[in-house]
Structure 1
Amino acid sequence: LKASATADTIRINEFLEQYQEFMDAGNLAYQTKLEQILHRLEKLPGSCNEYRSMKYAMLAISESVYGNIDFGDSLSLLALEQAEMLEDNKCKAEAYRARGNICLWRGELNKAQSYFEKSLSCSMQLGDSVAMIGPYFNLAHIMTSKGNLDSGFMYYDKTVQLCTKNEEFEYLADVKINLAKAYYRQERLSDAFLANIEAINILDSIGSKQRRLYPLHSLAVIYRDMGMDSLSTCYFKEIYVSSKVKRDYNLAASSSLDIGNYYLRRGSIDSAYKYINEADLLVQESGANQYKGSINIGFAKISLRRDEYDRAEVYFNRGLRIAKMNHDVETEIAAKIGLAKCYRRKGMDEEALELLLSANDLATASHSHENSCTACKMIAELYYAKGLYTEAAKHYMLFTEIYNAYLDPLLDENNRNLAFQTQLKEQAERNALLEKEAENSAQIVNSQIKRIRGQRIILIHSIALLVVGTILICQLVKSIAERKKINAQLKASNEEVRQVNMRLKSENEFKNRLFSIVSHDLRSPLTGLYSMLQVFSIQKNMSSEERQVLLDNLMESTEYALGLIDNLLGWTQKQMKNVKPEETAFDIKKVAQEIAKLNSAKIKVRKLAIVNSIPEAKICRGDVNIARLVLRNLLSNAIKFSPEDAAIEMNYEEGGGKAVISVKDMAGGVPPGLKDILDSDEEFISTSGKRNEKGNGLGLKLCRYFLMKSGNSLWFESRQGEGTTFYFTLDIG
């Protein structure tokens, strides 16, 4: 029986691979494979209940993704029934996740959140970091959909960490796609654009062409909001066709809805109705509710364009009801603003005002600036009509502030340039008009002069010349002022470009010098290691003393190479601007003891003494890894330069609201000019220790950089022949 069950599971796995291939290709033969899989799953013995539950959950998610919501619902219930019967946390986690996905596709966000939280709890009990990725990801999506952006970004950060740790690149791409949507809700279009590009690059690297449609759809939305309607609509149409072929009805419905809204903005009512109606049919076929609210808003706007206000009111009410059920804040705001327009048409100003105030509160909370701007303007108009001028002025001011801060097209650099060029063209047209008017005036004057007697002809000509000269002088002065302004702007732009080029050149030279140092310093110990290992392999009859000397040399070379690699990795993180210190409370004496213990072998060989005078239970606050890095480098330098039988002291004091930790050695003092080199990002200094140990000059620079990044500092006091004391500060816990 056991052998038979194993053979069946192998066959089921083969069917599952074929089923997935057919689903991805849009081949209807997947239905036959699904029937074969379900038939074999039913025939498995009771010992395979865990396997059966996991496969039911997997199939439920696959079916829901491709629009078969009701069938996916049935499979998820079967998976949950098997899991609860087994009381197995692994099966429960997958079954709860499948149920959550079904509720998510149906727009039941509260139910979905409950199931994903249960799935996460089961995965945490198992300690399965891979299984935690799905619940974290879906909870992030739910929180951002509800407008709780802080919690949403927290869950996204957890998901990115787990995906990176476990190399789950498909999930990482999904995280980037949803992060782009969250950035879009905050109107951070550049961040959203970059997140979509990252998602596309990840999907390209793993060869997932079908999934590329989702970030492409988000890019199309961004292009639409940037005013590039033609380009965004081309994207939407391509995505619409591809997603219909792949039977991804949800994405097809979203794209069709976007195309319909594009035609609605252009006033092509029939085309708009065609695509919005197509989106409605696709949503009905897939069973997903998430776009129904937006579709009803689209139908309502079409009715408004056709002056069918009663029908528009019905659609707006239906869209509002669905949006509240799905916690779709954007659609709810649009529905309330649309209903307010209908009520104003009917003279129901009080009801309209109530809806607009509610819509403005929602728009402000969700950072929907365009909707907030529209609502404030309509509220101000209603208050003005009622004679409440103070309230009207208040909301007009709010409207102006939001418009100037977020919606004024002149805030965009390209639009500013375009506006400036337009202004110049308008000025040129005005000048031409003035010149034409001047010519007409001159002709009139000339015709009048011909009818006037001889003595008045000279006076009239003089006046005409004076007028024309004044106009020309004014125009010349104005033209010179505008030219000076343009030249000043060009000069400022050229200076910015020059500074950027100088900075890039400096950074490039700095990196070249760094890599030269690293390639030289890292090659030397590795060459030494190779040579000593050759000696070991050739000299078979080596004495124990000779062997010990070689082993000591191997340890020193290895230690140097590891130190160089640690510092190089730290510098790389610094250059990537991706270091995020994590604040914790820690006992600085214990950290110092830990670093001293790590260096105990070197201390013993060099006959040194470590005097740890840091008092007990001195709590500091900050990134403990930065404290370890600084103490490790300072103690390593002190050991490197101290003579035999010397003492190295570690002390603690408080001053200026900071903890000051010091490492003092009895060496010969630091080289002249070290302070200037320590403050520079373009120079390195490397000196040999008492036993000719080599350095690379990166350690102290990294210590100084990370301390400055966390608001602290590093300095030293040194006298030639007496020793050196290095100080650094930390926040007091």
Structure 2
Amino acid sequence: MVAYFIIPNYIKRPFCLLIVFLFLNVTHTYTQNNKLDSLSTVLLQLQRNNNFDASNHEHINLLNAIGHEYYFKNIDSLYFYTKKAQELSRKSNYEEGTIMALIGLSHYEAYNGENDKAIQSLEKAYNLAKKIENQKLKIRALNPLGILHYDIGNHAEALKAYLKAIEIATDTNDLLNLSFIQENVAHLYLSQKDYQQSLSLYKIVQDINHQLGNDVYTAQSSSNIADLYVKLKDFENAKVYIDSSIVIFEEKEINDWLAYSYMVKGDMYLRQNRPKLALYWYDKALTLHEDLNDDRSKAQLLNSLSEAYFKLFNYVQAEENAIASLEIGTRLSLLDDSKKSNQLLYEINKKNNKADIALKYHEVFKLLSDSISRKENLNSLGILKTKLEFEKQQKDAQLANEKVKARQNIYFYMALIALAILALIIFLLRKQSKARKIFNKELRLKTKALEKREEELSGINATKDKLFSIIGHDLRGPINALASVLNMLKDDEISQEEFLEFTPKVKNDVDAISFTLNNLLSWGRTQMTGSKTEASSFDIHELVTENIKLLQETAKNKNISITNTTPMKAFVWADINQIDVVIRNLLSNAIKFSHPKSTITVNATKEGDFLKVAIKDKGVGMSPEILDQVFSSKNATLVTTYGTSNEKGTGLGLSLCKEMVNNNGGEIFVTSKLNEGSIFYFTVPLRENITK
């Protein structure tokens, strides 16, 4: 069925499956029939939906996937589904769907011998993937493009496509695609009879496959390595590799690769001049080909059958198979297979004493041999030229990177010099400041009121700096992001649907801004005006419950449950608004640093005249260094870290909690173990006029 996705001769079957993996990343847990039936069922259910939209991306992806499953079953069905996917993708401007459809259509075009059209489809798919900067789709277009160029004898162009794909796969650490493409390059060198280079590449592929941990990929490479060993007449190694592959393919029912492996095993026995055994394995492969639309692989298999029958002196069967292979080779422009068929038919007719017919086949054989020989010479030169050009490009890129690094080093040293100058200036300023302080010491002693005023001004400046820092770093960013999204919507740079996709992120930013503003307002009042504490009696259990409800959605987003085990009717004497801020901040922090699917517990116990509230999480915990800084009076900076889902905080909450707990005559402290979680404690009086 497939044409240009398959490399002729010894590497035909591998490429069929390589494209399957590249296209859908499917494994062989189920047979192809099961996959096709499953995909068809999903498609039927989708089309029966009342809200069915043919241009829906899910629908287009299903059409492409089903079309791909028909690669080796029915070429007309492949065209039907892929063409439909292309039309719908074009109407809905779905570029990914268009790319996948073009790859499928190129398969159909190559099968029908329209190689130029197939190349154009693949180049169009690659350029479109390049336009949208989709690295995986670039590889999916480049790999079959290289295979098709190889198939029609343009080995230099094939290598060029492979090298581009290898560069992308290497940059993106895409081991799966890197394995496939490196194997294709190994096949290319094998066709040039550079067996050592080919074998070394196969070993690299095997190492990658072991990293991937997939026995099917390893079996695929092993079957190709076995074929290489057959050509080297190392039949002992060939048997080890091909037998291990056959076991996997039979177990997984991967008939494409199994047919190829049977053929390789037949080739092994044929090279050992054991045609009866070779014929046994060729017949097994031919039986599998009855359900595979893979004429290119079949052409090679028919030639192998013909050669086996010829060695058994069964010239009738030998001629029938050679003629059948020649028909396929002529139709699909398979020069190597056609050459082999004409050679066999020459030998057969010579044995049958049909000199005129034998001479005709011999003449065609010589013409094809000369043509292939010239093409091989050109290909060898082309491959060498392509390799040298690619290596030159890589060296040029390396030199460019080195220039960039050198420029960066210059900037780095300039920055160091600037820092040194700045440090010197700071040192001189500090020295001057110290002298000024000594000079003013006597004056400050005489004017206590002025000293007090200076302290107040310093406090106000510190508050101002902290406020500007928080506003600049933690409010301006989300607000600018929100403004940017709204401007994009206003200027029609994004659609309403795309704007809705930003909605969850925008809501989270707005919630974070709101939470930060509430803390800023509360903290600003305490710092700048000395917020008044108005104590009253209230039930702390109810206050905890209200805060849990308030933060429930945030916790739900991380699949975190919060349990309130504080005693019912636990009345305390404190400022309810300030304690509300304390509980909300501690719960918010617990959610922020808890692992998804964990639990947060809030409980309270009576200790003398105070109620001790504990909020326990099972999160990232804190190192001893961070623990020392959390409530340290010596630490004037705000300790900020990121949560388990990369949530950003201001570091203001805990400072605010400490001030408000202290305002109400209580204490706040924390215990924590790294990677085990933290417990924050604070105490509040049970009745009026109680302090610690």
- TM-score bucket (shorter structure): 0.3 to 0.5
**TM-score, normalised with respect to structure 2:** 0.47
- When normalised by structure 1's length, the TM-score is 0.44
